[in-house]
């Protein structure tokens, strides 16, 4: 509850203050609101001389005085007339600041002059004066919560990209890159030295597309194959010939590509079930979230789920999660004999305990809330190494997985990539609706997974606070 003071209520010497800790999100929100993108004030600034300064913009510091004036003294209904500021030192992320105002003069009929000071401990950072019009009558505003803001920082995308850059470019067969997004994605990945693309498709369409969108194809190998089916077959053949170490889907239907990946003679299967994983960089999550299977296995059996989980665990390890925590999702967190998915989850958990699923910790059934939220898990009394901190979410069927992955993308501002596992090489299975950034992220994941397949070691450092 906030109550303002009128001009008559105020006296020289009246004072008020607040404390505030500078956070990285403050700097990003200020950059968006003000339009000031000076890299010296952004935590993720590029360039070695400016990298990660975490310095608060001076005018953001100045804006904090309005919080005291508008909320406390004089309070709700106050109107700014003027503000002078002198910046004596800089503030940085993590600093605890004291923002104070003190009445130093009253000018009838309604103008008030206040000293404004901002300190870090005993250090004066900002000094100045504010001139305001005090409210004509007392205004009372009940306490209320503002709408929340999510700063969509995709820290894990950058982290994985940095880990992948030292690796040699992965020769990648790109099947039918015949629209702008499916051609731009591999070209962006090539510019980042992640892959060496081999374009397989209608050469005339590819070159015309590149010319239309000013894309540079110099030095890129193109195999002219007009049929999508034949292009997919050629990509698989390139893997067997040793010319390609990854396959990337372009502007063709998923089943056209997978038909050749999974065929018993000449395909790329290596024994287990092939499955798909969405890799999601969700803002404010301490590590990646992997969702499986949302693209290939429609209604997986218990036996299918064993392979789906094993594939996802191996990807998690490749991406720097030493012991992935796997949450097997259901609508409830208790075993219900009438709900087959809960029985499957319980069996899968026991199979992991007995070493039939290796490399991770598996628990279920878990509802989505208690798989993702420690508070929800504690509220429901769930004691588990997985509950509240799952790295991998195993969904009951393709519909629920597809909905979950797209909800994270469109409602939680997650950045996502997709990859098919269980084949001889990683298969980048992006949606035709995915933009070039999603395709680039899928390339990063594929390169890291291919390196893990080849060496048995992850090149990604684990997240310390995971």
* Distance set, CA 112 to CA 61, 102, 127, 139 (Å): 22, 10, 17, 17
- Strand ranges (E), 345-459: 361-366, 392-394, 415-421, 427-428
pLDDT at 37 (0 to 100) = 84
Cβ neighbours around 109 below 10 Å, total: 9
Q: What is the mean pLDDT of residues 432-450?
A: 85
Q: Is 39 exposed, middle or buried (0-12, 13-18, 19+ CB in 10 A)?
A: middle
pLDDT at 328 (0 to 100) = 97
Rounded CA separation 116/128 (Å): 5
Under DSSP, the state recorded for 459 is: -
Residue 15, beta-bridge partner list: 102
Q: Walk me through the domains of the chain, giving residue ranges and CATH numbers.
A: 2-141 (3.10.129.10), 155-324+391-455 (3.40.718.10)
Q: Which of 249-253, 273-277, 362-366, 410-414 has the lowest average pLDDT?
A: 410-414
Question: What is the pTM assigned to this prediction?
Answer: 0.75
The predicted-structure confidence for 114-164, as pLDDT tens digits, reads as follows 999 999 999 999 999 999 999 989 888 776 677 777 676 677 888 899 999
Residue 381 scores a pLDDT above 80: yes
Task: For 404, list phi and psi in degrees, rounded to 5.
Answer: -65, -45
Residue 214 scores a pLDDT above 60: yes
pLDDT at 144 (0 to 100) = 67
The predicted-structure confidence for 290-309, as pLDDT tens digits, reads as follows 999 999 999 999 999 999 99
Which of 312, 305, 371, 391 has its CA nearest to residue 341?
Answer: 305
Phi-psi region of 131 (alpha: psi -120 to 50; beta: other; left: phi over 0): beta
- Cβ neighbors of 437 (< 8 A, separation 6 or more) are 415
Displacement of CA 80 from its chain's centroid (Å): 39
More confident residue, 54 or 84: 84
Rounded CA separation 198/444 (Å): 17
pLDDT at 249 (0 to 100) = 93
Rounded CA separation 230/247 (Å): 14
């Amino acid at each position: 509850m906030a109550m303002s003071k009128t001009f008559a209520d105020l006296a020289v010497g009246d004072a008020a203050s607040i404390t505030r800790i500078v956070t990285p999100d403050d700097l990003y929100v200020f950059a968006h609101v003000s339009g000031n993108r000076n890299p010296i004030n952004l935590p993720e600034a590029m360039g070695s001389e400016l990298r990660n300064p975490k310095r608060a913009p001076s005018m953001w510091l100045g804006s904090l005085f309005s919080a005291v004036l508008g909320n406390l003294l004089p309070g709700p209904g106050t109107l700014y007339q003027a503000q002078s500021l002198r910046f004596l030192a800089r503030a940085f992320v993590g600093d605890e600041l004291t923002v104070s105002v003190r009445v130093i003069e009253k000018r009838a009929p309604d103008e008030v002059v206040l000293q404004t000071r901002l300190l870090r401990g005993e250090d004066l950072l900002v000094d100045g004066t504010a001139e305001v019009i005090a409210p004509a009558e007392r205004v009372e505003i009940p306490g209320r919560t503002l709408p929340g803001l999510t700063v969509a920082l995709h820290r894990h995308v950058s982290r994985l990209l940095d880990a992948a850059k030292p690796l040699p470019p992965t020769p990648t067969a790109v099947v039918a890159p015949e629209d702008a997004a499916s051609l731009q994605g591999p070209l962006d990945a090539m510019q980042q030295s992640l892959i060496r693309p081999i374009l397989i498709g209608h050469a005339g369409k590819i070159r015309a597309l590149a010319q239309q969108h000013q894309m540079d194809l110099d030095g890129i190998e193109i195999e002219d194959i007009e049929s999508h089916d034949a292009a997919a077959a050629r990509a698989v053949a390139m893997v067997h010939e040793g010319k390609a170490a990854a396959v990337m889907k372009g502007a063709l239907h998923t089943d056209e590509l997978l038909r050749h990946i999974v065929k018993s003679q000449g395909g790329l299967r290596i024994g287990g079930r092939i499955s798909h994983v969405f890799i999601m960089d969700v803002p404010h999550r301490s590590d990646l979230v992997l969702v499986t299977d949302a693209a290939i296995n429609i209604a997986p059996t218990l036996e299918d789920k064993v392979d789906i989980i094993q594939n996802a665990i191996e990807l998690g390890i490749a991406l720097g999660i030493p012991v992935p925590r796997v949450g097997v999702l259901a609508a409830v967190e208790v075993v219900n004999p009438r709900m087959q998915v809960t029985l499957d989850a319980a069996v899968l958990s026991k199979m992991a305990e007995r070493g039939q699923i290796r490399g991770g910790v598996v628990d279920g059934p878990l509802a989505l809330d208690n798989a993702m939220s420690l508070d929800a898990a504690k509220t429901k009394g769930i004691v588990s190494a997985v509950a509240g901190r799952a790295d991998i979410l195993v969904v009951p069927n393709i519909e629920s997985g597809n909905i979950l992955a797209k909800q994270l993308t469109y409602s939680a501002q997650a950045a996502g990539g997709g990859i098919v596992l269980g084949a001889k090489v990683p298969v980048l299975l992006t949606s035709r609706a995915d933009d070039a950034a999603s395709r680039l992220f899928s390339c990063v994941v594929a390169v890291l997974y291919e390196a893990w397949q080849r060496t048995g070691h992850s090149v990604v450092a684990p997240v310390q606070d995971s």
